[in-house]
Structure 1
């Protein structure tokens, strides 16, 4: 485990270094920088909130959280979040990480786009969600230390990030738009696929094969 709390420091462990190598190999510069910012934002949020969290596990979760968007890890039908979580599970299992820790990383990645849930879970799960929220949507921007934010962004720049991340999302699941149903990523498919409309939950209920009676 790392002991330094320098603003732009990442865990100095073999596990973290190998996770970085995988991220660098399979991610674009945009996703690489985003993932690094997510970890650094999340770790700082954890320190600010005085949470007890595992920096190494949080870092691996951040490194893998968007790898499901890459061709190397993308499945034909799973949510990209699940693809990334499954990749992290395999990576951690190879390194003999205990199953309970693997499950924490899996949940953190699988739920990193699911609002309203993660704040009630393990610190690593909650922090990955909040780190992503800050970097992608600006959630918590005003309460996050501006000097830390500026140092992180200087180290890992947000070059054309707002437009680029949306295109990166779509590129990761354009071949399986149905996997975005019920998630915020359905908005991306509706934006980029002409005529695409995500299934409506009310319509699905109305069209259920059950008869509209007690029979």
Structure 2
């Protein structure tokens, strides 16, 4: 395993190694490189801002954050973010991690696609959110140091990431498009299936069983 990238020490505890093994086994190169970049981007942002956060928890959260897209961990009816969060919870419970800590990791993963909320929670939640935003959509690209960004990409290459991540998302939840209602992943379904229409929030209100 790589020990340090862009001034960030990659956790090498048994817990961290076991989490990495799970992603390696059930994910692919795209998810592996993406998840590690997300960790490093988030950690570097936190370091620059002098935030207090648990590096190991951020690492485990990053490794599990897209695990819900894989066949092994994808449920039939839950948001993929929740599938990843549930997988992390089950994993951490094997190590007798305190419930409060496990819940923090669960929130960090479950909220990583929830703008307007995640960035206002605990540091680990916010940093994973920012790391994902930078790697997927380029959020904060101009503010992130060029030399650190290049070092991270050299260690964990993007390899046509922009073109491959969209179909990877779709493959992860195309069997349950209704789980994208009310969140940004609805755009992925529409990209591949423009004829599909999720529920409309206004219609949910107007056609509810309430008389008034």
* Coarse TM-score class (shorter-chain normalised): over 0.9
* 1:50 counterpart SS class: coil
Conservation of the 8 A alpha-carbon contact between 1:7 and 1:40: no
For structure 2, which runs of at least 5 residues remain unmatched after alignment?
none
- Deviation track 1:165-196 (CA, whole Å, cap 9, x = no partner) reads 11110000000000111110011011112411
Counterpart CA distance in 2 for 1:160 and 1:203 is: 39
Counterpart CA distance in 2 for 1:136 and 1:51 is: 23
Q: Which residue of 2 aligns with 1:24?
A: 24
Q: Which residue of 1 aligns with 2:117?
A: 117
Q: Which residue of 1 aligns with 2:167?
A: 167
For residues 22-171 of structure 1, what are the structure 2 equivalents within 5 Å?
A: 22-171=22-171
Counterpart CA distance in 2 for 1:59 and 1:96 is: 18
* 1:19 counterpart SS class: helix
Conservation of the 8 A alpha-carbon contact between 1:108 and 1:128: yes
Counterpart CA distance in 1 for 2:78 and 2:87 is: 12
Measured after TM superposition, the shift of residue 28 of structure 1 is: 1.2
Please report the TM-score for the alignment, with normalisation by the length of structure 1: 0.94
CA RMSD of aligned residues (A): 1.4
Conservation of the 8 A alpha-carbon contact between 2:33 and 2:158: yes
Question: Judging changes above 3 Å, is the alpha-carbon distance between structure 1 residues 130 and 201 closer, same or farther for their aligned structure 2 residues?
Answer: same
Counterpart CA distance in 2 for 1:7 and 1:63 is: 19
For structure 1, which runs of at least 5 residues remain unmatched after alignment?
none
Counterpart CA distance in 1 for 2:198 and 2:160 is: 27
- Count matched residues: 210
Runs of 4+ in 1 over 6 A off after TM superposition: none
Conservation of the 8 A alpha-carbon contact between 1:38 and 1:135: yes
Please report the TM-score for the alignment, with normalisation by the length of structure 2: 0.96
Measured after TM superposition, the shift of residue 4 of structure 1 is: 6.5
Q: Which residue of 2 aligns with 1:14?
A: 14
Counterpart CA distance in 2 for 1:53 and 1:31 is: 23
